[in-house]
Amino acid sequence: MSTSLDFYFDVGSPTAYLAWQRLKQLREQYDLTINFKPMLLGGVFKATGNASPVANPAKGAYMASMDMPRFAVRYGVTLNFNPHFPVNTLGLQRGAIAAQEAGCLEEYLAAVYPAMWVDAKDMGDTEVVKSVLADAGLDAESLLAATQDPDVKAALISNTEEAVSRGAFGAPTMYIGDEMFFGQDRLDFVEERLRSAA
Amino acid sequence: MSTSLDFYFDVGSPTAYLAWQRLKQLREQYDLTINFKPMLLGGVFKATGNASPVANPAKGAYMASMDMPRFAVRYGVTLNFNPHFPVNTLGLQRGAIAAQEAGCLEEYLAAVYPAMWVDAKDMGDTEVVKSVLADAGLDAESLLAATQDPDVKAALISNTEEAVSRGAFGAPTMYIGDEMFFGQDRLDFVEERLRSAA
């Protein structure tokens, strides 16, 4: 029986990027279904009185220079800390909802995540986003237009509120049933669950 | 050749307690020398503008009810979240310095840590501390008296400043040479270093 995991993420979070990379590897290895739940991390922070760990200078320096690179090596993936961080991801996360509704979320993430966390592009700039999506063969115009759709806006708010109501205070936050896992650095516990379910 | 690890800790931190338990296991298994560095976590927070993660209600609830218990199970140790948390640990950490100078730090920690994180005693109360130390066969009177020694006070400040100057922003913080590891949840990376040094 496939294990179903709810993945609440924001493309602006480097640790959610690492989780996205690692979850795809785990899906190759185990019978795992990833339920993608785009949320607005800024909204989660506001609702819970939390802040990005990177906002603390000493913690941010350690995370960017030592801690996240360690996990990138462990997973065998590339992570280049984005000099434009923090990026306002409202448009990008609405775009993720729009892509999900259009049935192309995984392709959208395969374009947006590396643009943000490998190529270190300025993804706060709509023109940059447009060309990233177009280069990936996605319908950039219609995805960007859909970010203004009231249903898309409402769905992002709804996912964000849902995450907070389930106990989330940051990104990435994952659930298997009611069991919550906060942080890409807890995916070893997720893997334990997958292994014992196999 | 023994691997030398600097362990900056505060007995008031439940994650530093988990690290203390795990480091002792690693020392059994590998050729590891632990250099105990008592510091004042409140001083580190003040110097770096950081705060306890448990101070955020949503994060604190997750850590106490789900995340730290997971690691306690993994390590095979007991952790009972202390209802008196957060405890002012100034006296306890000066006591750790005094115990170190008297050559009985490991015995001191073997008494204080379980009192705090297994038996959930009110370790902010000097009378409780005194009886915990006496029950462990330590010279409670002389250790408590030594907490007023200017050299002991200065040594705790010095360790705290040293930690901050090396990049620490919380507890536990560990170093192998210049490589920093923040958090008991990074001891798997420490173990990788120990394994490759073996």
Nearest neighbour of B58 by CB, restricted to A57, A167, A179:
A167
Question: Which among A186, A167, A189 is positioned nearest to A178, based on CA atoms?
Answer: A167
Mean pLDDT, rounded, for B116-144: 98
Question: Is 90 exceeded by the pLDDT of residue B100?
Answer: yes
Residue B174: pLDDT band (50, 70, 90) is very high
The DSSP H or E segment spanning B182 is strand B179-182
Alpha-carbon dihedral angle through residues B145, B151, B157, B162, given to the nearest 10 degrees: -130
Judging contacts by C-beta atoms under 8 Å, the chain A residues touching residue B44 are: none
Other CB atoms within 10 A of residue A37 CB: 23
Mean pLDDT, rounded, for A71-81: 98
The DSSP H or E segment spanning A35 is strand A32-38
| CB of B57 less than 8 A from some CB of A | yes
Residue A9: pLDDT band (50, 70, 90) is very high
pLDDT at B1: 78
Tell me which chain A residue has its CA closest to the CA of residue B53.
A50
pLDDT digits (tens, 9 = 90+) for A164-184: 999 999 999 999 999 999 999
| Beta carbon pairs, A and B, within 8 Å | 56
Tell me which chain A residue has its CA closest to the CA of residue B51.
A56
Judging contacts by C-beta atoms under 8 Å, the chain A residues touching residue B173 are: none
Judging contacts by C-beta atoms under 8 Å, the chain A residues touching residue B49 are: 56-57
Average pLDDT score over chain B: 97
pLDDT digits (tens, 9 = 90+) for B68-86: 999 999 999 999 999 999 9
**Residue ranges per domain, chain A?**
3-192
Q: Which site among B8, B54, B65, B67 would you substitute to test the A interface, given the most A Cβ atoms closer than 10 Å to its Cβ? A: B67
| CB of B180 less than 8 A from some CB of A | yes
pLDDT at B31: 97
Interface touch B170/A59, C-beta < 8 Å? yes
pLDDT at B142: 97
pTM above 0.80, yes or no: yes
Question: Is 90 exceeded by the pLDDT of residue B42?
Answer: yes
Question: Is 90 exceeded by the pLDDT of residue B33?
Answer: yes
pLDDT at A198: 84
- Please spell the DSSP secondary structure of B115-146, one letter per residue: HHHTS---TTSHHHHHHHHHHTT--HHHHHHH
Interface touch B170/A62, C-beta < 8 Å? no
Mean pLDDT, rounded, for B134-148: 98
pLDDT at A109: 98
Interface touch A56/B62, C-beta < 8 Å? no
Tell me which chain B residue has its CA closest to the CA of residue A185.
B185
pLDDT at A1: 78
Average pLDDT score over chain A: 97
What's the residue count for chain A?
198
Q: Is A23 exposed, middle or buried (0-12, 13-18, 19+ CB in 10 A)?
A: buried
DSSP category for residue A146: H
Judging contacts by C-beta atoms under 8 Å, the chain A residues touching residue B66 are: 179-180
Nearest neighbour of B189 by CB, restricted to A49, A70, A182:
A70
Nearest neighbour of B180 by CB, restricted to A57, A62, A170:
A62
pLDDT digits (tens, 9 = 90+) for A26-70: 999 999 999 999 999 999 999 999 999 988 999 999 999 999 999
Mean pLDDT, rounded, for A92-119: 98
**Which fold, A3-192?**
Glutaredoxin (3.40.30)
Question: Which among B162, B172, B166 is positioned nearest to B109, based on CA atoms?
Answer: B172
Judging contacts by C-beta atoms under 8 Å, the chain A residues touching residue B188 are: 188
Mean pLDDT, rounded, for A117-143: 98
| CB of B168 less than 8 A from some CB of A | yes
Question: Is 90 exceeded by the pLDDT of residue A133?
Answer: yes
Judging contacts by C-beta atoms under 8 Å, the chain B residues touching residue A179 are: 66
**The CATH number of the domain covering residues in B3-197:** 3.40.30.10
Question: Is 90 exceeded by the pLDDT of residue B34?
Answer: yes
Question: Is 90 exceeded by the pLDDT of residue B37?
Answer: yes
Question: Is 90 exceeded by the pLDDT of residue B114?
Answer: yes
- Shortest distance, CA A169 to any CA of chain B (angstroms): 6
Percentage of residues in chain B having pLDDT higher than 90:
97
- Shortest distance, CA B106 to any CA of chain A (angstroms): 29
Judging contacts by C-beta atoms under 8 Å, the chain B residues touching residue A56 are: 48-50, 169
| CB of A58 less than 8 A from some CB of B | yes
pLDDT at A116: 98
Residue B166 main-chain phi, psi, to 5 deg: -90, 0
